[in-house]
């Protein structure tokens, strides 16, 4: 956890000394889809997987420094097992392992993110990036219709990754994202697409 935050800070600080040359476009919108694991009060067990979608906007003050605001939504991922029976007839069953040893079977969370983002140019169109900021979180852990845990507050977010930026404004990125939500945290591998204008 601390290593991820330190790595993001190091990439952000290094990027401030870079002279990355992007076009004069100052705006970027993007969408990341990610998957990984969640931990509640340091509980980490098989089956505690989550998926997330993150929609964001960047305002670039310089070619290498931006302010990011975004909305993230995530939930637990159910484990499905499918087997082929009777030649091309698949039977799928849901593996409902309980979450975090609480007997819960659902996790839903939302985050509003504000972060500083920096870039370090590797080649003409390739960049490393780092992001560090805060998120306002709201989550629920439930068993069916019974709410077991509900919390909201402010935590931090850190991300480090690589981005390829085409001359037409489109870009793809691959990153590692960490979200702190008090007693709940998530670590995810994110794949995204964005457009600058």
pLDDT in tens, 11-31: 444 443 333 344 578 999 999
Q: Are 181 and 158 in contact (CB under 8 A)?
A: no
Q: Which domains, ranges and CATH numbers included, belong to the chain?
A: 2-79+89-138+149-196 (2.40.160.20)
User: What pLDDT was estimated at residue 169?
Assistant: 95
At 115-124, the pLDDT tens digits run 999 999 999 9
Distance CA 170, CA 22 (A): 12
Q: For residue 110, what are the CA distances in angstroms to 154, 192, 194?
A: 12, 18, 21
Task: Pick the more confident residue, 81 or 120.
Answer: 120
Residue 4: pLDDT band with limits 50, 70, 90? low
> CA-CA distance, 63 to 61, in Å (whole number)?
7
Read off the pLDDT of residues 122-178 as tens digits, 9 standing for 90 and up. Answer: 999 999 999 999 999 999 999 989 999 999 999 999 999 999 999 999 999 999 999
Radius of gyration of the chain (CA): 19
pTM: 0.81
**What is the average pLDDT score of the chain?**
85
Contacts of 55 (CB under 8 A, 6+ apart): 29, 30, 31, 70, 71, 72
SS3 3: helix
- Of residues 63 and 69, more confidence is placed in 69
DSSP collapsed to 3 states, 22-70:
CCCCCEEEEEEEEEEEEEECCECCCCCEEEEEEEEEEEEEECCEEEEEE
Residues in the chain: 197
Burial class of 188 by CB neighbour count within 10 A (0 to 12, 13 to 18, 19+): buried
Question: Residue 169's Cα: distance from chain center in Å?
Answer: 22
């Amino acid at each position: 956890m601390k290593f991820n935050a330190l790595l993001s800070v190091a990439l952000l600080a290094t990027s401030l000394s870079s002279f990355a040359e992007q076009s004069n476009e100052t705006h970027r919108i993007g969408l990341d889809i990610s998957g990984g694991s969640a931990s509640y009060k340091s509980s980490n067990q098989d089956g505690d997987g989550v998926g997330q979608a993150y929609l964001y906007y960047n305002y670039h003050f310089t070619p290498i420094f931006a302010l990011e605001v975004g909305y993230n939504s995530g939930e637990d991922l159910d484990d499905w097992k499918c087997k082929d029976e009777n030649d091309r007839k698949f039977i799928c069953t849901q593996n409902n392992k309980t979450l975090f040893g609480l007997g819960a079977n659902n996790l839903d969370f939302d985050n509003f993110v504000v972060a500083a983002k920096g870039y370090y140019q590797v080649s003409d169109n390739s960049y490393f990036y780092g992001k560090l900021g805060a998120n306002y979180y709201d989550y629920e852990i439930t068993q069916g219709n019974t709410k077991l845990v509900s919390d909201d507050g402010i935590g931090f977010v850190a991300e480090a990754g690589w981005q390829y930026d085409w001359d037409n404004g489109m870009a793809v990125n691959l990153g590692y994202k960490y979200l702190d939500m008090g007693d709940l945290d998530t670590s995810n591998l994110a794949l995204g697409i964005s457009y600058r204008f």
